[in-house]
Amino acid sequence: MRFVWAVVAFVIAAVMIGAGIAQRTVFQGPSETSATVQTEGTTAYTLIDGALLTSVPGAQTLRVEGDGQVFAAYGRTADVKAWLSDTSYTAVTVDGEGVVQTTEVGPSATGTAEVAGRSPVDSDLWLDEYEQTGTLSATLQLPGEMSVLIASDGTAPAPANVSVTWPIDDSTPWAGPLIVGGGIALLAGLVLYLLGIRHVRRSRRPRRKGLPLPVTEPISTVDGDGDAKGVISQSPAGRGSRVRGALGGRRALVAVPALGVSVALLAGCSADAWPQFAAPASPSPTPTVVVPEGQFPPAVTEAQAQRIVSRVSSTVAQADAALDATAVAERLSGPALAERQTNYTLRAAIPDRAALPAIPAEPVQIVLPQTTGTWPRTLMTVVESADAATPTTTIMMMTQENPWAPYKASYVGNLEASTNLPELAAEYVGATQVSPDSNFLVLAPEKVAAAYADIINNGQNSASWSTFDTANDLLLAAIQDNKTKRTDELNQTGAGTAEISFSASAGPAAPIALATLDSGAIVAVNVYESDTAKPTNADAVIKLDNNPAVKALTGVDQSATGFTTTYSDQVFFYVPGQGSDDQIRLLGYRSSLLEAKVSP
């Protein structure tokens, strides 16, 4: 019976091990699937739509082959199409049956001529980009609302050979258990087989009979040659030990190969040959941002904002070193550009004139993008200086005018150390831009600059005095100190022969406002401060012996009519929502000499 059960165990072992091996070999499916895109190579750009990228679940491996430079970038489909709206491109997508389709699309922007030869490299629209020579390969995890742009240099035709590959789950979770179970069954069969052999051998031994044996003569063992004559010892212990030794040695010799076969089979089984009871390690594609239903997505992601700030910092630093007003205009605009250009003029004329504070590249502490699907787009960032010698916290308002323009910082200021920013939305949610004439704030953004200028001019007599938190306003204190200093200087050099007057007004730059979570807004405005020094005696003149900056800007060293000097203030306020009892609070500012001219 033991032999029967041994045969059954051997059959079960063969079936289980064979099934396990078959799962890992002949029955194992492919580990990946691919979609090949072959374009005609007639356009400079190819757009791989998100519908194709997500037609198979899992991460996408993009492979592009070309003769020279190969460029790929991905972004929101709407943004990429907006960037391509003034040119022709090849659109790649899939139909309802999963068949790849290519279509050449012409310019969709109305009223514009088709643009050719525009490089896609380093556009602020891309969430990420890749560039190689010859062959480019990248692994992505994009949701359906993202698309990939492929090009060479924007002039030559885009690479024509493109493929997208997705991994397929070819794991065999029961192969390992089947092989292990088969090994156990094989070992059990071997044990049963050995036990059967042992039973048969024991059944062949001489057995005691029930009747008395006849008396026999004793056998002489004096000569000690019994072993040589084939005589077997009658000792039960000796006989038993010899039999057990033979059986034990043979069992070991048979069991070891069985174990070796099981170990060898298991050695070829990877982790995917076993059941996985934990959650899958690879995440499924998810949207880059999560926004409330019905709201536009934020203009940029946090990673995008960090790259934009780094590019602004690098461009401005290079322009500062070269005093290049043209180069700095690539990343600055409005009041931020005007103050830089004036500084370059002064530094070119005055060797020891200090440069304006650099724009730090990192770390970016706060990112507040506008939620919008159109242009212009606004982005606010707060960046701390990594330089321990000059610790500063820079706040910037940046604007992208159209899909092809870079983000430019129009307002740049420094936050005070004691500044507490209002509660802001997360960067993946973003904030709405408040219109200049909004009535949802205690003061419309377009009126903030004029109201603050009135406070500078009239102090406590201003109608806006109680609307602003003037007690903690460091800029007002600095302006008053400058007025006192300028008056004292004039009295020392031209006592009784000259006078100075001060005035402030709203600057020409439009305000920028982004909403906060408490229904208020962070508002950036531009304020001009001017002082005019005039002689009071017809025979007197105003000399610039102690004012090389005004001398450099006007090109003269004295005037009988006087001089007017203008400073530009870039001011950041927190403006509470309508109905709030809070006051408008200063967050940060930058004040710089803007221009000087001879009074008429």
163-180 pLDDT per residue, tens = 999 887 656 666 677 788
pLDDT band at 244 (very low <50, low <70, confident <90, very high): very low
Q: Looking at the predicted structure, is the pLDDT value of residue 565 above 80?
A: yes
- Mean pLDDT is lowest, of 63-77, 173-187, 411-425, for 173-187
Is this model's pTM higher than 0.85 or not?
no
Q: Residue 340: what pLDDT?
A: 98
What's the start-to-end Cα distance of the chain, in Å? 125
Q: Looking at the predicted structure, is the pLDDT value of residue 320 above 90?
A: yes
Q: Residue 215: what pLDDT?
A: 57
Phi and psi for 509 in degrees, rounded to 5? -70, 140
Q: Residue 256: what pLDDT?
A: 47
Chain segment 514-530, per-residue pLDDT in tens: 999 999 999 999 999 99
The more confident residue out of 56 and 20 is 56
Q: Residue 478: what pLDDT?
A: 94
pLDDT band at 265 (very low <50, low <70, confident <90, very high): low
Q: Write down the domain spans for the chain.
A: 32-167, 294-429, 434-600
Q: Looking at the predicted structure, is the pLDDT value of residue 255 above 90?
A: no
Chain segment 304-313, per-residue pLDDT in tens: 999 999 999 9
Q: Looking at the predicted structure, is the pLDDT value of residue 211 above 90?
A: no
Q: For 467-478, what is the mean pLDDT?
A: 95
Q: Looking at the predicted structure, is the pLDDT value of residue 471 above 90?
A: yes
When the pLDDT of each residue in the chain is averaged and rounded to a whole number, the result is 85
- Mean pLDDT is lowest, of 117-121, 257-261, 400-404, 528-532, for 257-261
The more confident residue out of 159 and 3 is 159
* Sign of CA pseudo-dihedral 142, 144, 146, 150: positive
Q: Residue 156: what pLDDT?
A: 93
Question: Tokens representing 414?
Answer: 């420094």
What is the share, in percent, of the chain residues with pLDDT greater than 90? 59
Give 332's DSSP letter: B
Q: Looking at the predicted structure, is the pLDDT value of residue 292 above 70?
A: no
What is the share, in percent, of the chain residues with pLDDT greater than 70? 80
Q: For 428-447, what is the mean pLDDT?
A: 97
Q: Residue 137: what pLDDT?
A: 94
pLDDT band at 31 (very low <50, low <70, confident <90, very high): low
How many angstroms separate the CA atoms of 107 and 118, rounded?
14
Residue 553 near residue 516 (C-beta atoms within 8 A): no
Q: Looking at the predicted structure, is the pLDDT value of residue 387 above 90?
A: no
Q: Residue 515: what pLDDT?
A: 97
Q: For 83-99, what is the mean pLDDT?
A: 91
pLDDT band at 233 (very low <50, low <70, confident <90, very high): very low
Chain segment 326-358, per-residue pLDDT in tens: 999 999 999 999 999 999 999 999 999 999 999
pLDDT band at 392 (very low <50, low <70, confident <90, very high): confident
Q: For the stretch 113-133, what's the b/e string if a residue is b when 16 or more beta carbons lie within 10 angstroms of its beta carbon?
A: eeeeebebeebbbbbebbeee
Q: Residue 37: what pLDDT?
A: 87
Nearest to 357 by CA among 591, 527, 522, 596: 591
Helix 2-24 vs helix 236-267: angle between axes, to the nearest 10 degrees?
20
Q: Looking at the predicted structure, is the pLDDT value of residue 254 above 70?
A: no
Q: For 476-496, what is the mean pLDDT?
A: 83
Q: Looking at the predicted structure, is the pLDDT value of residue 133 above 70?
A: yes
The more confident residue out of 273 and 40 is 40
Q: Looking at the predicted structure, is the pLDDT value of residue 3 above 80?
A: no
User: Long-range contacts for 76-82 (Cβ within 8 Å, ≥24 apart)?
Assistant: 76/127, 76/145, 76/146, 76/147, 76/297, 77/49, 77/50, 77/145, 77/146, 77/147, 78/145, 78/373, 79/125, 79/403, 80/47, 80/125, 80/147, 80/149, 81/47, 81/108, 81/147, 82/125, 82/375, 82/403
Q: For 463-476, what is the mean pLDDT?
A: 96
Chain segment 138-155, per-residue pLDDT in tens: 999 999 999 999 999 999
Q: Residue 125: what pLDDT?
A: 96
List the beta bridge partners of residue 79. Answer: none
Q: Residue 249: what pLDDT?
A: 47
Give every CB contact of residue 470 below 8 A, 6+ residues apart in sequence.
Answer: 455, 476
Q: Residue 194: what pLDDT?
A: 84
pLDDT band at 17 (very low <50, low <70, confident <90, very high): confident
Q: For 44-56, what is the mean pLDDT?
A: 93
Q: Residue 571: what pLDDT?
A: 98
> How far is CA 505 from each of CA 530, 573, 597, rounded to the nearest angstrom?
8, 17, 17
Q: What stretches of 221-281 show up as alpha helix (H) in DSSP?
A: 236-267
- Range 294-429 classified under CATH 3.40.50: no
Q: Residue 212: what pLDDT?
A: 57
Q: Residue 316: what pLDDT?
A: 98
